[in-house]
Amino acid sequence: MSIDAAASGRYPRDDVNSRERIVVATALLVTCGLIGIDLFNDSGEGVAIWHVMIEAGAGLVSVTALLFLLRGAITLRRRLDAEIASTASLRAAAEHWRAESRRHVEGLAKAIDRQLTLWRLTDAEKDVAFLLLKGFGLKDIARMRDTTEKTARAQSTAIYAKAGLSGRSELAAFFLEDLLVPKEREAG
C-alpha cells in the first residue's frame, strides 16, 4: 500500500471490508427484526415458553453480534483515521527534512564551487574535483567525462597543485573536516 493511499484515506481493502460489514450488519438487523416479529406473533398465540426463550436467545445473540460488529467498525475507523493523520504528519515532516537537506546540500555545493574558483580551477578541473570528492576513481571519472584516464590523472594533479594539497585525502579533508564534528564537541 502506498503512502498516497494512506494519506488520502482510501485503503484498497477499505471498500471491500466496509461492504462486508454492511452486509453482515444488515443480515443481523433483518434477523433481529424477524425474530422480534416472530416473538410478537408467538406471544399472542400462547406458544410454549421454552420456544419463546429460544427465539429470544437467538434474538439476543443477533443483537449482541450486531453491537459487537458496530463497535469493531467504529474502533477500526478511529484507528484508521489516527493512522491516516499520523501518516500525513510523517509525510509532511519527511518533505520538510528533504527540502531543508536539499537547501544545505545546494549551499555546500555552492561553497565548494566558490573555493574551487578561488583556486582558479578550470571548469573541467572543477568537474573532476567534484567527482573526486564524491569518491570516484580516476578510471570512473575518465569514463563519465568521456576522456582518458591519463587526462583525468593530469587534471587531478593540476587540482592538487593549484590548491596546494598533496592529494585526494587532503582535498576531501579540506572540505569535510569542519562538517564532521567530533563527539566531544557536539556535547558542549
> 3-state SS string over 103-156?
HHHHHHHHHHHHHHHHCCCCHHHHHHHHHHHCCCCHHHHHHHHCCCHHHHHHHH
Position 186 scores a pLDDT of: 52
Position 187 scores a pLDDT of: 53
- Per-10-residue mean pLDDT, the chain, length 188: 49 67 84 85 80 84 85 87 92 92 87 93 95 95 96 96 94 82 58
Ramachandran sector of residue 147 (left: φ over 0; alpha: ψ -120 to 50; beta: rest)? beta
For 38, the grid coordinates are: 416472530
Position 25 scores a pLDDT of: 83
Position 83 scores a pLDDT of: 92
Position 27 scores a pLDDT of: 85
pTM: 0.49
Burial 68-102 (b: 16+ CB within 10 A, else e): eeeeebeeeeeeeeeebeebeeeeeeeeeeeeeee
Position 13 scores a pLDDT of: 56
Position 6 scores a pLDDT of: 47
Position 61 scores a pLDDT of: 87
Position 185 scores a pLDDT of: 54
